[in-house]
Amino acid sequence: MKTNARAVVIGGGAIGVSVAYHLAKYGWKDDVVLLEKHELTSGSTWMAAGNVSFFHGNYYGTQVNKKSIEIYKELEKETGQPVGWHTTGSIRTADNPGRMDELGYAYSMNRCLGLDVSYITPEEIGKMHPFIQTEGLLGGLYWPDDGDVDPNSLTQAMAKGARKLGVEFNLHTMVSGIYQKSSGEWVVETDKGDITCEKVVNAAGLWAPEVARMVGLEIPSISIAHTHILYESIQEIADRDTYLPLMRDPDKSIYLRQEMDSLILGLYEANGQQWYKNGVPWDYAQEEINPDLDNISDCIEGGIERFPILGETGFKHITAGPITYTPNAEPLVGPAAPLKNFYNACGYSFGITQAGGIGHYLAGWMMNGEPEIDLWPMDSRRYGSYANWAYNTEKIADTYPRLYSIIYPNEFRDAARPNRTSPIYEYQKQANAVFGDYYGWECPNYFPPKGEDGYEDPTWRRSNAFKHVGAECKHVMEKVGIIDLTRFAKTKISGPGAKAWLNHMTCQKVPEKDGRIALSPMLDHKGNFKTDMTVSRVNENEFFCVTASVGKKHDQHWMLENLPEDGSVCMEDITYQMGCLVLVGPNSRDVLAKVAYDDVSNDVFKFGTSREIYVGRTKCRVNRMNYVGELGFEIFHPIAHQITLYQDLMNAGAEFDIRLIGMYAMDSMRLEKGYLAWKSEMNVHHTPLETNVAWTVKMDKEFIGKKGLEKQKAEGIAQKLVCMVVDVKDSDPFGYNPIFAGDERIGMTSSGGYGHRVEKSIAFGYVKPEFAKEGTQLEVEILGRKRSATVSAMPLYDPKNEKMKS
């Protein structure tokens, strides 16, 4: 066995083998070693059903699936090993209007990628799948290019390809420990000796949590016994010349596909059995679990209702085997924070669908430093420390039976909540808050009047929260409100090198005067958005940086990776020490003046500045800036003072009719103000030059990403961010809607919603620059329907910022 390698991949399932294969293929060749404690495929791969389809709940996951299909079709040519690919097409059915909306979302989102997808009627479904009973179906979507693959052959083909390129496969080799040397190199210890390497990939599947523990990480992945049933031979299928399409009836929580001259039924039952939830034994390998028929009989009956032949055909074999699940069933991929050069590729419950694609994308990410596409939905850093084992086991118990539930953009499921709460949580509850959870934080989405709409109906359209959100927006516009943003990620950057380092990290110029604030995008090496922060200068050697809560781990990991090793810059996470209440609305200054010991008049405390003041007895850092575009103050405070501060503000605000305001109102108002959101407008596909924050780019200094921006400046931008007003009555745009000029697809929305102050439905989107001119008539496709849209001036609300500066 080698003692040195560029990359060591731990795990010989479809995922690990694909990562190794792609690393080798793209240039690392024989500098890649794969370690597997048993034989290839012996964890979960062996029992996978092998379905490979385009359908995925999100845009980027769909792209990974698409890449897999491309790779699987070419793999035999490249490796000489057949993978058992069949193009069968697939159908996803709907038996209720909510499901039809979800299909509408998938249809429109797929069209952003130019995929071949079409609506089909129950009659057409019946023709394509003669065994289906279509009664009750409203329709479905059909993807002609979907298919299936033999998981074992697929893994062996990629292994063969990898071996040809020089990858060393060490089977029956057990990893016993992993540590990092002071040089930064990793040492992977095994029972056959140690390997020193630059990069490590945890593709250990069922055992990924154990491997993670070796480097001090807790990752949220638990295995569940998934069951599928192979039926005995069916003569009518044997007699057919063509393959039956893969069927998914999500309303019955089943899938059905042809296997040789028979069928395989897979199911996601109501009570998924977590298997060795405290850790899978190391000696487990390719072994079937006792199937629990009682536990899955409801789904089998659902299958028989939809496909009556299943009731007349014997069970040839019932396969139950462990597959890993994460809290939201998306995998855990990418750089593992806070480590350097340690990557995750695990937590997969649809590994065959994505193995090819994720191998390709992760290899590129590891080799180039940045992912080719934004993989945030599967990035392992989306989970913070709240996603511990207990959270995970509770959450997965809820997620597994709902894998085929309708995806709604406004659904915040109750399981495993609450986790993190602001100290004023009980006050928020008393004010009838309807909460959402964001990075483990309970945060009010909206505040309905008592007894009304205490539960938000999940929908792709305007929900029962709509009018309450409208009332909150109007309240902020006319009076004063408090938004709880305690969940903000807060980082203190200090030390003699702080200013120079921050200037290197952001394209913006770091404030030169104490108390100044700068909106500061951080870019990747290509010049694309990494993240965006608000930097307040406390003094020459100390800066207070605020970033989005959900990106905390991602953003701080990026900073940590780039932190100078000489100790000249100190980075301190103060997220959990400081809360933030945003006091906002035309009366906000009057309220603050009543309780503050300091002068907060416009002459002293100007817009865009930051001051340390006493609000009551609470010493606060207050930024006169906000995300909703009214006069307002972001009041950062020691978290232990929050209730006192809250009471002071509420008492002082009583005469101004102060009230609490939720996240939905904030998001509505930020759209009206043309403020960008992280991972919507600001992701790895766009630079600031394409947006309305191009003004933050200061080319007269050096910073990460400058070269990319110079190149883009020279070549001209290919896309431009626009604000559109969309003509809709009940279904606002939400992002990943295709944008059309006539029949030509010219862009995609990044986010959208209703602006209650301007009373318009708003979409942000990137389009070809020639369509960015104000007044251009376009169409935005929402839930499968094209809606007319007009490119409008950005922002729609208070373009001169008179309100914020008042």
Contacts 24+ apart (CB under 8 A), 63-67: 63/113, 63/357, 63/373, 64/354, 64/357, 64/358, 64/361, 64/373, 64/375, 64/378, 65/353, 65/354, 65/357, 66/113, 66/115, 66/357, 67/356, 67/357, 67/360, 67/361
Q: Is 527 left (phi over 0), alpha (psi -120 to 50) or beta?
A: left
CA angle 364, 706, 752 (to 5 degrees): 75
Give the span between the Cα atoms of 479 and 654, in whole angstroms. Answer: 11
What is the smallest separation between the CB atom of 34 and another protein, expressed in angstroms? 14
Cβ neighbours of residue 716 under 8 Å, at least 6 residues apart?
769
Structure tokens at 166: 């020089």
Cβ proximity to another protein: between 66 and 226 the closer is 226
Cβ proximity to another protein: between 268 and 675 the closer is 268
SS3 777: strand
Task: Give the CA dihedral 631, 634, 640, 642, nearest 10 degrees.
Answer: 20
Which H or E element spans position 180? strand 175-180
Cβ proximity to another protein: between 133 and 297 the closer is 297
Cβ proximity to another protein: between 104 and 322 the closer is 322
What residues pair up with 572 in beta bridges, in sequence order? Answer: 492
CB–CB of 178/200 below 8 Å? yes
What is the smallest separation between the CB atom of 128 and another protein, expressed in angstroms? 24
What is the smallest separation between the CB atom of 253 and another protein, expressed in angstroms? 16
Residues in contact with another protein by CB under 8 A are: 171-172, 231-232, 281, 283-285, 287-291, 293, 297, 300-301, 304, 310-316
Phi, psi of 671 (to 5 degrees): -65, -40
CB–CB of 575/593 below 8 Å? no
What is the smallest separation between the CB atom of 275 and another protein, expressed in angstroms? 9
Cβ proximity to another protein: between 242 and 290 the closer is 290
Cβ proximity to another protein: between 225 and 804 the closer is 225
What is the smallest separation between the CB atom of 12 and another protein, expressed in angstroms? 13
Exposed / middle / buried, residue 514 (Cβ in 10 Å: 0-12, 13-18, 19+): middle
Cβ proximity to another protein: between 285 and 403 the closer is 285
Cβ proximity to another protein: between 289 and 694 the closer is 289
Chain-centre distance for alpha carbon 484: 23
Structure tokens at 188: 């992977």
What is the smallest separation between the CB atom of 199 and another protein, expressed in angstroms? 26
Structure tokens at 804: 């914020």
Cβ proximity to another protein: between 263 and 693 the closer is 263
What is the smallest separation between the CB atom of 314 and another protein, expressed in angstroms? 3
What is the smallest separation between the CB atom of 296 and another protein, expressed in angstroms? 10
What is the smallest separation between the CB atom of 300 and another protein, expressed in angstroms? 5
Exposed / middle / buried, residue 402 (Cβ in 10 Å: 0-12, 13-18, 19+): middle
CB–CB of 7/32 below 8 Å? yes
What is the smallest separation between the CB atom of 329 and another protein, expressed in angstroms? 25
Structure tokens at 418: 């609450």
DSSP 266-293: EE--SS--B-STT---TT--S------H
Cβ proximity to another protein: between 99 and 226 the closer is 226
What is the smallest separation between the CB atom of 36 and another protein, expressed in angstroms? 11
Cβ proximity to another protein: between 231 and 348 the closer is 231
Fill in the amino acid letter for 280.
Answer: V
What is the end-to-end Cα distance of the chain in Å, rounded? 70
What is the smallest separation between the CB atom of 39 and another protein, expressed in angstroms? 9
Cβ proximity to another protein: between 147 and 291 the closer is 291
Cβ proximity to another protein: between 171 and 640 the closer is 171
What is the smallest separation between the CB atom of 252 and another protein, expressed in angstroms? 14
